[in-house]
Chain A
Amino acid sequence: MSTNPKVELTLPVMENMELAATKTAEVVAKSMGLDEMKTAEINMALIEACINAFEHSKSKENIYITYSIDGDTLTIKVGDKGEGFDSEVVAIPNIDEKINSEHKRGWGLQLMKELMDTVEFESSESGTTVTMTKNK
Chain B
Amino acid sequence: MADFDLKVTENDGVILVTTNGYLNNYGGEQVASLCLQKISEGKRKFLLNLANTDMVNSIGVSILIEVIEELQGTSGTIAFCNLAPIVEKTFNIMGISKYAKIYANEEEAMAGLA
Contact = CB atoms under 8 A, between A and B. Distances in A.
Interface of A: 15-16, 18-19, 22, 37, 40-41, 43-44, 47-48, 51, 93-96, 98-100, 104-108, 110-111, 114-115
A107 B55 contact: no
Given A40-B85, A44-B86, A94-B95, A16 B65 contact: no
A111 B95 contact: no
Given A40-B84, A104-B66, A95 B98 contact: yes
A83 B63 CA distance: 26
Given A16-B24, A19-B3, A43-B55, 17 more contacts: A16-B1, A19-B22, A19-B55, A41-B86, A41-B89, A47-B57, A48-B58, A51-B58, A51-B59, A95-B95, A96-B95, A98-B62, A98-B65, A99-B68, A105-B58, A107-B61, A111-B94
Contacts of B96: 95
B86 A40 contact: yes
Interface in B63-77: 63, 65-66, 68-69, 72
A22 B55 contact: yes
A111 B1 contact: no
A76 B17 CA distance: 35
B101 to A, nearest CB: 15
A37 B87 CA distance: 11
Contacts of A18: 57
Contacts of B52: none
Nearest to A51: B57
Most buried by A among B58, B96, B98: B58
Given A44-B86, A100-B69, A104-B62, A95 B57 contact: no
Contacts of B55: 19, 22, 43-44, 47
Which 9 pairs from chain A and chain B are nearest by CB?
A95-B95, A40-B86, A107-B58, A104-B62, A104-B65, A105-B62, A114-B93, A99-B69, A15-B1
B62 A107 contact: yes
Nearest to B66: A104
18 contacts: A16-B1, A40-B85, A41-B89, A44-B86, A47-B57, A48-B57, A51-B57, A51-B59, A96-B95, A99-B65, A99-B68, A99-B99, A100-B69, A105-B59, A106-B62, A107-B61, A110-B93, A115-B89
B90 interface: yes
